[in-house]
Amino acid sequence: MATKQSSNGHLIGYKRVSTKAQDARLQADALTEEGCSKVFEDKLSGKNTERPGLADALEYMRPGDTLCVWKLDRLGRSTKDVLTLAEKLHSRGIALRILTGTLAGNYSPTGEGKFFFTMMAAFAELERDLIVERTKAGLEAAKAQGRTGGRPTVITEDLLTVAKARQAKGESVTAIAKTLGVSRATLYRALSK
């Protein structure tokens, strides 16, 4: 697909996922479909103040270019961070395009547009906070019902009994762990409880 240009510059993409385990394919596909000539990426939480991919994108961009993101929350996790970045872009003559979400479209930090952007950024931050609160409430409710999240325990009561018996006979934790097919660290944690 041919790359699109903004009025007199290039469309530059930025994508971010919170962890290395997450996949930015959805964002990448949307940015490619939009026609971004170059795409920069970060694989870290939006809470991190240093985002090397975003810094590289900002250094690369020139007046007339447009920074394109899949969704507003990819730029940052707080209203203040997003607004600061948007103001910096505007002062350099760089536009902002958001592809999806409540504020899909082009950002202009003047008049009603600035007010609308501020409100949507605040709502995005509020939405994230609500998701965190709901997740915590769900985990607490599950815990109250006896369910816990995370990986299931590897050391069952039977394995722990065997491990303790072998340890009492003088066998090393390393040898016991190898025999039982668990890591030493896992076995040490189980034996210390």
Q: What is the pLDDT along the chain (193 residues), one digit of tens a residue?
A: 444 445 568 999 999 988 776 778 899 999 999 999 999 999 877 565 688 999 999 999 999 899 999 998 888 777 778 877 877 887 888 888 999 987 788 876 555 656 766 776 677 778 778 888 988 998 888 888 888 777 778 888 888 999 999 999 999 999 999 999 999 998 998 988 8
**Catalytic: which of 18, 37, 78, 108?**
18
Active site residue 18: yes
pLDDT value at residue 67: 93
Q: What residue has token string 């872009």?
A: 89
Rounded CA-CA distance 54/93 in Å is 17
pLDDT value at residue 109: 55
Whether pTM exceeds 0.75: no
**Residue 66: both structure tokens together:** 């447009």
pLDDT value at residue 111: 59
pLDDT value at residue 5: 46
pLDDT value at residue 24: 82
- Number of other CB atoms surrounding residue 176 within 10 Å: 21
Q: What residue has token string 């961070």?
A: 81
Fold classification of 11-132 (topology level): Rossmann fold (3.40.50)
Farthest CA pair distance, the chain: 79
pLDDT value at residue 47: 64
End-to-end CA distance of the chain: 59
Per-residue CA distances from 65 to 28, 59, 169 (Å): 19, 12, 72
CB 122 within 8 A of CB 79: yes
